[in-house]
Every structure is written in structure tokens, then in C-alpha cells.
């Protein structure tokens, strides 16, 4: 299992539209082989900043599966125009605790 992590900085004044777009985008990722769960949490101290956590069975499910799929193109069209800057995606493996 791996956790995909990204900090999403949404353009000012776009939080409501971003939340609506994320609700539409969720089924696109949730339908992918290897998908386990998704969380999107809003920052309490930085308006417009969100934490994206997606749990996959393996890194390949995201990189070689979802990122290469037609659904990813739809995800990009729905969400990527909200970000400034574009987020950096990191992957985290086994828990040490």
C-alpha cells in the first residue's frame, strides 16, 4: 500500500468551485484498479490550501494506471486549472509506527 500526497493551493476565490469540481472528479479516481481511498482536507490556517491523500495498492496503480487513463484526462480538465502553483505529488510507503 502507498499513500499519494499533494498540497493543493487553489486560486483565491475558487474554493467553492474547486470543492464542487472535486466532488465530480472523485468517481473518476475511485473507479481505478488499485484505488483504496481518498481524502481532501481543507487547511484551517491557510485559506485555499488543501491536503490530498489517496491510498493505492501500489505506486504503479497511480503512475502507470490512473495517470495513463482517459479518466485522468477528465480529472485534469476538472481540477488542474484551480491550482497555483501546480502541486508536487509524493508517495509514502510503509508506516514506521
Q: Which domain holds residue 78?
A: 2-50+60-90
Q: Does 79 map to a domain?
A: yes
Identify whether 40 is part of a domain: yes
Q: Which residues contact residue 60 at a Cβ distance below 8 angstroms, ignoring those fewer than 6 apart?
A: 34
Best CA proximity match to 28, nearest among 75, 65, 64 = 75
Rounded CA separation 9/81 (Å):
11
Question: pLDDT: is 94 or 55 the higher one?
Answer: 55
The answer to whether the predicted template modeling score (pTM) of the entire model surpasses 0.85 is: yes
- Give me the number of domains the chain comprises: 1
83 part of a folded domain: yes
Overall residue count recorded for the chain in this entry? 97
In whole numbers, what is the pLDDT of the chain averaged over residues? 97
> Is 76 among the domain residues?
yes
Tell me how far apart the alpha carbons of residues 42 and 1 are, in angstroms, rounded to a whole number: 24
13 pLDDT band, cuts 50/70/90, is: very high
Across 43-62, average pLDDT: 97
CATH number, domain with residue 84 = 3.30.70.100
pLDDT tens, residue by residue, 61-84: 999 999 999 999 999 999 999 999
pLDDT recorded at residue 80: 98
**CB-based contacts of 15, cutoff 8 Å, min separation 6:** 42, 47, 48
d(CA 50, CA 40): 6
pLDDT at 7: 98
pLDDT-above-90 percentage for the chain: 98
Average pLDDT over residues 78-95: 96
The continuous run of DSSP H or E covering 4 comes out as strand 2-9
Amino acid at each position: 500500500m502507498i499513500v499519494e500526497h499533494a498540497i493543493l493551493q487553489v486560486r483565491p476565490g475558487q474554493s467553492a468551485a474547486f470543492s464542487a469540481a472535486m466532488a465530480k472528479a472523485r468517481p473518476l479516481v475511485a473507479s481505478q484498479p488499485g484505488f483504496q481511498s481518498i481524502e481532501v482536507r481543507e487547511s484551517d490556517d491557510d485559506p485555499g490550501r488543501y491536503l490530498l491523500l489517496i491510498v493505492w495498492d501500489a505506486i504503479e496503480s497511480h503512475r502507470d494506471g490512473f495517470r495513463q487513463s482517459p479518466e485522468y484526462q477528465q480529472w485534469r480538465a476538472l481540477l488542474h486549472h484551480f491550482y497555483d502553483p501546480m502541486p508536487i505529488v509524493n508517495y509514502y510507503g510503509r508506516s514506521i509506527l
